[in-house]
Each structure stands twice: as structure tokens, then as C-alpha cells.
Amino acid sequence: MYRRAYVLLIGVTVVMGVLALAASISLDRPLVDPEGFLGPSWLRLPLLLFAALLADMLPRYFWEAKGHPVQGWAAMKKRWHTHWNRDRLTLNVLGIVCFYVTYVSYRNLKSFLPFITGDKKYDRELHVLDRALFMGHEPANVLHAMFGTGVSAHVLSYIYLWFLPLVPIGVAVFLVWSRNITFGYWFVTSQVLIWTLGTASYYALPTLGPGFRYPWLYADLPESGTSALMESLFYARKGVIHDGVEGAVQSVAGFASLHTGVTLLVALMVQYTVRNQIVKIVFWVNFGLTVIATLYFGWHYVADDIAGVAIALVSFYVGGLASGQKFSKHRLRSYPTSATAEIPTADASRADSSDRE
């Protein structure tokens, strides 16, 4: 039923893993599992899945059973057999392994970038393009004047940093709670694709980003979590490239913007798979503010954000096709072509009929 998703997930993961291993051997640099939200990837992804499992099971024990232990265990057992079937378990194991390998490979290939591409950077060209798009003005000056450099800087900083837990939380939520198994495959396949395409874009057009190449343009911004992150990335890059620090990665690369791409991808997934209108609005607003934050703080050029949108759309569509989705031509909706207990294909047929009315 999910053969195309299996092939794409495993195929892309193997390619990323082989490329990372080959680069590691060629450069004589070890592969690193980088630290991040809740620790290294091998720890935080299983932790989030375990937390999601508890969040799925415990309410049934305490609320459905109304404090009766025997009924509580019966409710949990029923949930396990009805929701945590073989398809769901396969999705979780395959999804977390493929995402983990792809993400760690991405971080290492990104870290190897300066050693493979050398000193060639395209920051000047993209900076000239930015000035042309802003009618001869610096985008930083325009945005700082438009939004100010006080409270708005801290708000945009929180929005930008929210990206760090967003990805692993999103993976866990879609693997555990997607109301149709195909939606879970769609999300994790699209994630694997976008991190892979993002890696390719770094090598196609290596840049540092305006905040690293032209830091004086952002000197008027206050200290924030984002400025602290940028400073830590600067010194981590210096340590890896110039000081020979081991067990660390350099994480500076501008083109394309995966903050833009991934937040758009999540917004699209929510738009097409979640029924709650408020949730949809929240994630679209998050995407829009993230794009502003990438330019406001100097993480990216305008071209980086455009490229991020492009790879998000490709990942979303290809991941959808691989997971068995059929897209409506008339509305922002899709439906699975594979039946599950929650959403049989008959429901999809009715949805298609309503689209044609």
C-alpha cells in the first residue's frame, strides 16, 4: 500500500547517508550527531515519540476510565490495538529512522561545505540583488525602520527560534496522531526531501548570509536569543574551520532558507490535513513572520527565501504523490487514495464529488 513512500523514504535516506559517509572519509573528518533541542538527534526524536505516546495513552487511563485502574488498562489496551497497529508502528519506526539519518547527514554535509567548496561565495551577488529589489536600499534598514528595533525584535526572535523545536515536534505529531496513515508518510517523506534539497542548494550556491557577511547592517538590533544564536554559530564555524575543534559542526549556509521552506511545508501540511481553521491560521502566520525574521536579522537574502519556497513546494507535492495523495484541482485540499480504518477511500470519493459540484 505504501510502496512508493517506502522507496522514496529509504532511497533518499540511503543517498544522504552515503554522501555524508563518503565526504567524511574523503575529508578525514568524523561524522557528528549534533546537539540541539533536547540533546542529540538520536535522543530527542525517541524522547518526543515516547512523550507523544504517553500523551496519547494517559488521558484514556485517567479520564475515559474515570479513576478505575482495570477500566483504565482496558481503555489503553483498546487504544493500542485500534490505533497502534502494524501500519502505525511501521510508520513510526521507518519515519524516525529515515528522518534521523537524513537530518544527521544534512548537518554533517552542511558542516563539510567550506572544506569542499572552498572560499567561493555568492554573497555579493545576492546582496546586489537584494538592493535592487528594495529600490537601492538595504533590506535591513528598510525592515528595521518598518518594524522597529525594540519589542518587535524580541517577538521576531522568538518566532525564528521556535523553528528549532518545531521540526522534531512536527515529526512526532504526524507519526503518532495523523488521522490517516498516508498523512504520516506524506509529512515524513516531505521532510526527508526538503532537508536533502536544502543540502543540495547549499552546494549549488554557497553563501554565508548577510548577517555574517555584512554584520554592521544589523548593529542596531538589541541582544536577543537570535543574536546569541548567530554569535554561537560564528564561533562554532571558526572553531571547526580554523581551530580544529572536534565533535562540533559548522552550521552557516544561506542559500536556500530552510527556515522559510520548512515552515511553509508545515503550513501546507496543516492546510491539507488538519480540519481546525484556527490551527491553519496559526501556522500560516508563523510562516509569514518567519520569512520576515530571516531578512530582519540577516540570516538570509531574498533569493534564499524564494528558493526555500520552491523546494518546499517540490517536497510537498512529490511527498504527496509518493504517499498516495490525490490533489483537487479546484480547492486547497487533497485526499488519500489508500484506505485506512479512519478514512476509507469512499470518503475520499465523496470529497472529490463535492469538489466537482
Encode pLDDT of 113-168 as tens digits.
999 988 889 999 999 999 999 999 999 999 999 999 889 999 999 999 999 889 88
Mean pLDDT, residues 321-329 taken together: 81
Summary mean pLDDT of the chain: 84
Task: Report CA torsion sign: 5, 288, 204, 195.
Answer: negative
Mean pLDDT computed over 271-294: 94
In a domain, 245, yes or no: yes
Q: Which residue would you say has higher pLDDT here, 75 or 200?
A: 200
277 CB neighbour count, 10 Å cutoff: 8
Name the DSSP letter for residue 336: E
Confidence of residue 346 (pLDDT cuts 50, 70, 90): very low
Cβ neighbour number for residue 351 with a 10 Å cutoff:
16
Q: Tell me the pLDDT band of 261, cut-offs 50, 70 and 90.
A: very high
For residues 131 and 136, give the distance between their C-alpha atoms in angstroms, rounded to a whole number. Answer: 5
- Note the pLDDT of residue 356: 36
User: For the residues 328-338, what does the mean pLDDT come to?
Assistant: 54
pLDDT of residue 49: 72
Mean pLDDT to the nearest integer, 33-42: 62
- The predicted structure's pLDDT at residue 177: 82
Look at the chain and report how many structural domains it folds into.
Answer: 1
Query: Residues 170-187: what's their mean pLDDT?
Result: 87
- The answer for residues whose C-beta is within 8 angstroms of residue 163's C-beta and 6 or more apart is 259, 262, 263, 290
pLDDT the model gives residue 333: 53
Is the per-residue pLDDT at 71 higher than 80?
no
Asked whether residue 309 is assigned to any structural domain, the reply reads yes
Residue 83 falls inside a structural domain: yes
For residues 73-98, give the mean pLDDT: 82
In a domain, 101, yes or no: yes
Q: Are 224 and 154 in contact (CB under 8 A)?
A: yes
Rounded distance between C-alpha atoms, residue 48 and residue 40, angstroms: 12
Cβ contacts of 50 within 8 Å, gap of 6 or more: none
pLDDT category of residue 324 using cuts at 50, 70 and 90 = confident
Q: Supply the pLDDT for residue 339.
A: 45
Instruction: Kindly state the average pLDDT of the residues 263-267.
Output: 96
Q: Which amino acid is at 71?
A: Q
% the chain with pLDDT above 70: 86
Quick one: pLDDT at residue 55? 76
| Lowest-confidence segment of 43-52, 79-88, 113-122, 208-217 by average pLDDT | 43-52
Can you tell me the mean pLDDT for 209-215?
Answer: 92
How wide is the angle at C-alpha 72 spanned by C-alphas 69 and 75, nearest 5°?
155
Q: Is residue 334 part of a domain?
A: no
CA pair distance 289, 175, nearest whole angstrom: 26
**Residue 119: which domain range?**
3-323
Residue 270 resides in a domain: yes
- pLDDT-based confidence at 350, cuts 50/70/90? very low
Other residues' Cβ atoms within 10 Å of the Cβ of residue 163: 19
Could you tell me if residue 339 is inside a domain? no
Residue 62 within any structural domain of the chain: yes
Residue 351 pLDDT: 42
On the question of pLDDT at 36 being above 80, the answer is no
Q: Answer yes or no: are the C-beta atoms of 56 and 83 closer than 8 Å.
A: yes
Q: Is the pTM of this model over 0.95?
A: no
Q: Are strands 334-336 and 325-327 parallel, antiparallel or unpaired?
A: antiparallel
- Between the alpha carbon of residue 99 and those of residues 186, 187, 257, the distances in Å are 13, 11, 19
